[in-house]
Amino acid sequence: MTRLESVQDGCWVNLTYPSEDELNTVAVTLGVEPTFLRAALDEEETSRIDTEDGQTLIIIDAPSVEKDDAVVYSTLPLGIIVTEKHIITVCLKETSILKDFQDGLVRNADTQKRTQFILYMLLQVAKRFLQYLKQIDKIYNYMERQLYKSQRNKELIQLLDLEKSLVYFNTSLKANEVTLEKILRGRIITLYEEDHDLLEDVLIEVRQAIEMANIYSSIISGMMDAFASVISNNLNVIMKVLTSITILLTIPNIFFSFYGMNVANLPLDHFWWFPLALSVVVILVVGIILKKKDLF
């Protein structure tokens, strides 16, 4: 893969967060439909395929990773425009998928074979989904071990972020599957025999990613429910212990209140140690009862 100084027939034009002037220049120079160029710049755009005046627009949801305080996975639209002489990609930000093509890391990627080049790009998107899903699984396993130790809010929030990422992945992958099935019919893009095999490989990868996303999402959802129950149970145990301690501490208060007032004819009221001893005995008896009831 070689960077060109000017646009030539059969080349790949890659636009990353293009300005309005760049969009207009490409639209005029290559005769591309302006709405096709701007379609992928809408973050809410879903995966679809469209054709007009001999030009084909394929919008595919590609995975992305954001690293701020924690690793959060999301998706963004990647637009692939196929004209008679060029392949144009439009994306809101630079992705590792397109960078692999720029650096020549994708074998057999040839811009002269436009259909095959597009299918290799779709295959890389599917493989990147699988790679990020495996990373999510590793992060989840680490978070699970941390929760067994501390059960802090931080780990629960990170699990929630992972669950949200899996929802994004699952939704995008299902939309991608529908788009790929439309391409497989061969009505919009002409497919040769080797292209059919490659596209079926892409569909297998996408369906595997969908299955993995569903499994991981169910596991994380179940784990969060389990830990919520554990935290609630731990709170109940703490409240039970505190209530038992309060009951035990109330016993000496009662006896000392009686013996501290001017109440006549209390037993052994002339011995200062008697209310103390009586309190200790009653505390021990009540403590044994609470222990047998599993309340302490």
For the chain, domains (ranges, CATH) are 12-233 (3.30.460.20), 234-292 (no CATH)
* Token pair for 165: 């990422």
Q: How confident is the model at residue 106 (pLDDT cuts 50, 70, 90)?
A: confident
Cβ-Cβ contacts under 8 Å for 236 (sequence gap 6 or more): none
Q: How confident is the model at residue 296 (pLDDT cuts 50, 70, 90)?
A: low
Could you tell me the CA-to-CA distances from 3 to 12, 27, 77, 111, 236 in Å, in that order?
Answer: 9, 20, 24, 12, 65
> Where is average pLDDT lowest: 51-55, 79-83, 91-95, 224-228?
224-228
What mean pLDDT do residues 103-115 have? 83
41-45, 69-73, 186-190, 229-233 — which one is most confidently predicted on average?
Answer: 41-45
Q: Taking a C-beta distance cutoff of 8 angstroms, is the pair 56, 115 a contact?
A: no
> Where is average pLDDT lowest: 54-58, 100-104, 146-150, 239-243?
146-150
Q: What is the DSSP letter of 32?
A: -
CA–CA distance, 272 with 105 (Å, rounded to integer): 90
- Beta-strand runs (E) in the chain: 12-16, 48-52, 55-67, 71-82, 87-91
Report field, pTM of the whole predicted structure over 0.75: yes
Looking at every residue in the chain, the average pLDDT score rounds to: 85
